[in-house]
Structure 1
């Protein structure tokens, strides 16, 4: 068993909103949230007042303690306000991917039993198509025929809602994750889970009121929520908010607004390492880039460091861990490729997937984690919960890892089949189901393949139906046609990025697709359509 090198910490006992906003009123005019494009600012005193007023407005709108409020929006100044106000009103918040299709949105709203929805005007057509049972849809900006978060704040101004009862075991966040396999499931994160993880990360990371942190990673991602909204605002730092990633705009903000820290995903690191727009920029204000949400090749981290002079370190976690488990301790330089060391009050084991026994020191095994940040379970799915969290409280991550003699952890592979494309979760089974609806596809399998830049992308292996072709001049079924077919039916981040044709898929005697064989094949496969 591997224990955290950090000293034990006192775990918070306060609700999520109170814990994050502790001391906010006293910080007065210090900027809490800054819109990167317009410069509009919400101070800490304004943030504390807004959260109380919007919570009162939500109570007037009929939101009851224990109900679920959904947020379906890109990053904005008012995204944290909506989430913290919902918590203040005693509701749980389900975070919806802003790229979700109407079908994805409808499924999550129904499964979570969301009663109130926050979105933005640009996404209202998708909301209308999704339908659902929400009582009212509010917007974070402005839209005809919809009340806004500003309307809620004005209706509740001057009379903040009395604090609804929020126990440590009550649900605070309900993000959706595929876990180690299967369809997306609601991950029940309690007030105790999330505040514990914010406290753990705050202890391990150096974030002070003098820091300016760039929020380009989405708030709907558990990593973005807990680290950006949680740790940054709890620490009194300034959060500079970008609604979406555009390289030119990202670089302008990164270098022009005195950013000291940025949380990134590997695709952003890749752009920093290779794109010509990076040339001639002054990165001197930036002290560190922290990468998570997907594995980062050590060679790529070194390329970024050499090019812009800023160190890039990795952290590790998953939605079911609220989401953090490992970070590099402040003041320590991790070896290349390491995701750091276990957070305070966190225990780890490395277990052989074959034998179920702990592996020898230095050997590779499945990473098991136990700590106060481990989820309560999957919403309404006790069987799936028991498959991931055992009776002793160990979360089986599905990731293979090793630890060196100095206690640094390295993630090497995944037991699970989930694909991480630019930090987003992509289910192979979902894409396979779409592929099999194509009349020219007889069989299909999807695996994650790693390109030369270390990015994992979905590749489809397709068996063409008789007469449909599959390769060569004049073939009726082409790689481009397959990719276009899938792209028209899924969210943009789920698209198949390459296609290869086979005469038959490798399967076990029981009919299970042998994905490892396909990944091995991909390592030597040619370009799309090969």
Structure 2
């Protein structure tokens, strides 16, 4: 039996992203701060932002870029990102946002796969951008360097042209707004086709539950190039006329300083930042009293870790779940909800329908009654935020989207009788030990409760007998002398025998994507 959100459906207007965010902005909001550059404190108000968006759209149109074209955007979180991103969409073109950590070879693959006609970047990333642009045949005059570089147009040049924004016409339900690329944690990155309706729908779905207000100062730590930062920060915050405080890259001291100095109120993070907030001694040196809510996504947040953050900072901690393929949010603990357990991802967002399917039989698991909890199975989701498919990859699309419109998430979940969903683990990451299923996330959460462990990841590896066993990759706290035997004993004392960690390797850092997901494929590499 499928289950829906316990909340009423919301209206999703048939508008482009630009018209949805800015088309009916109140005159009184135009002089509100839209973006604050975290390091410098420079302010961009909504009036200026919209003028920049229109100017960039006009400049792109003057270069022959519009409906049917793809434009690459390679940039860290700076205020100009917002103007450029929405300028691309305003022009009718499709934005493919590129991971700012990519090498030239990585960028080439995305530019080739997406068919990008132009690239906008910043000078620190120009060497790899230029190498990639040349490799795919993008000329120098269509490699735009926002902060300026010899031989390339700059953002100032584009705005100085004062070209009028074009009149464009397209169907928001089918026209592609963005082509983010899936993280590739389980394979080669794929272009996720998200329409204007997908993006507008997800903002409408999350706004009533996340509670971002017009007086919030939202720290934009999560990268805008990733769908989590793109929707939950860039679009949702702007739709509520909040202020975004941009942070180009994560540095703990800078992170804490910006919260303190800019009086940030709402912090969106991935679990690795929660570890620092809960455990790092530096946190006590900063005034973080402005924070009312920390919201975690992109990977499972352990209940004890979330509770430790809440207790230390004296704030609310919430958790949600989603995927690039769902624009991204499908589940969240509501902003005003102090009852839903933090070891869950909360409720299905409005306008979505879900079911949980036994991966072995393909049958739906029975929906629970009373105070019961369902059996675990793969979570399937359907709604207006679900992608149109993978670009140029019909086979992968067919494997992920079924004929009934359900997205097969690849994540194992349960649901209780109240509609609260818990993510057990990824279907493809479950360790099979002697026929038993061992969820890596459960062991990782346990390891993080050890006071001498700063971070951890668990994968399945083959032992001498060819049996898959759990192996832990552990980052020690500074000055820790923790041993392999101590880690194994710590876990063994707290789990069922089949879940015990059998091998341990100490490493300096757990490899993670920009969205905070553990890159298990990197840990499986021969050098790991």
Range class of TM-score, shorter chain = 0.7 to 0.9
Which of 193, 197, 222 is equivalent to 2:227? 222
2-structure distance, mates of 1:280, 1:104: 39
Ranges of 4+ aligned residues in structure 1 off by more than 4 Å: 178-181, 458-464
1:298 corresponds to:
303
Question: Aligned in 2, Cα 1:73/1:371: closer, same or farther, shift over 3 Å?
Answer: same
Question: Aligned in 2, Cα 1:325/1:85: closer, same or farther, shift over 3 Å?
Answer: same
Q: Tell me the CA shift for residue 523 of structure 1.
A: 2.1
1:405 corresponds to:
417
May I ask how many residue pairs the two structures share in their alignment?
Answer: 450
2-structure distance, mates of 1:342, 1:80: 28
Quick check: 291-300 or 56-65, which moved more? 56-65
Q: In the alignment, is the contact (CA less than 8 A) between 1:213 and 1:262 conserved in 2?
A: yes
The Cα offsets for residues 478-498 of structure 1, whole Å up to 9 and x where unpaired, read as xx9xxxxxxxxxxxxxxxxxx
1:453 corresponds to:
448
Q: Tell me the CA shift for residue 214 of structure 1.
A: 0.5
Q: In the alignment, is the contact (CA less than 8 A) between 2:318 and 2:335 conserved in 1?
A: no
Q: Tell me the CA shift for residue 79 of structure 1.
A: 0.5
1:196 corresponds to:
201
SS of structure 2 residue aligned to 1:207? coil
Structure 2 residue runs without a partner (length 5+): 432-439, 450-454, 465-472, 474-483, 485-497, 508-527
1:59 corresponds to:
61
Which of 420, 427, 437 is equivalent to 1:415? 427
Quick check: 213-222 or 301-310, which moved more? 301-310
Q: Tell me the CA shift for residue 207 of structure 1.
A: 1.6
Which of 272, 279, 294 is equivalent to 1:274? 279
Q: In the alignment, is the contact (CA less than 8 A) between 1:24 and 1:44 conserved in 2?
A: no
Note the 1:24-423 alignment, pairs <5 A: 24=25, 26=27, 27-130=29-132, 131-135=135-139, 136-156=142-162, 159-177=164-182, 181-333=186-338, 334-360=340-366, 361=368, 362=373, 363-417=375-429
Q: In the alignment, is the contact (CA less than 8 A) between 2:76 and 2:100 conserved in 1?
A: yes
1:526 corresponds to:
504
Quick check: 450-459 or 63-72, which moved more? 450-459
2-structure distance, mates of 1:462, 1:72: 39
2-structure distance, mates of 1:336, 1:56: 46
1:476 corresponds to:
none
1-structure distance, mates of 2:73, 2:56: 14
1-structure distance, mates of 2:458, 2:74: 25
SS of structure 2 residue aligned to 1:314? strand
Question: Aligned in 2, Cα 1:457/1:96: closer, same or farther, shift over 3 Å?
Answer: farther
Q: In the alignment, is the contact (CA less than 8 A) between 2:429 and 2:459 conserved in 1?
A: no
Q: In the alignment, is the contact (CA less than 8 A) between 1:24 and 1:45 conserved in 2?
A: no
TM-score (norm. length: structure 2) = 0.81
SS of structure 2 residue aligned to 1:290? strand
Q: Tell me the CA shift for residue 182 of structure 1.
A: 3.0
Q: Tell me the CA shift for residue 338 of structure 1.
A: 1.1
2-structure distance, mates of 1:95, 1:148: 18
The Cα offsets for residues 316-359 of structure 1, whole Å up to 9 and x where unpaired, read as 00000011101112321221311110111011101100111111
Q: Tell me the CA shift for residue 183 of structure 1.
A: 1.3
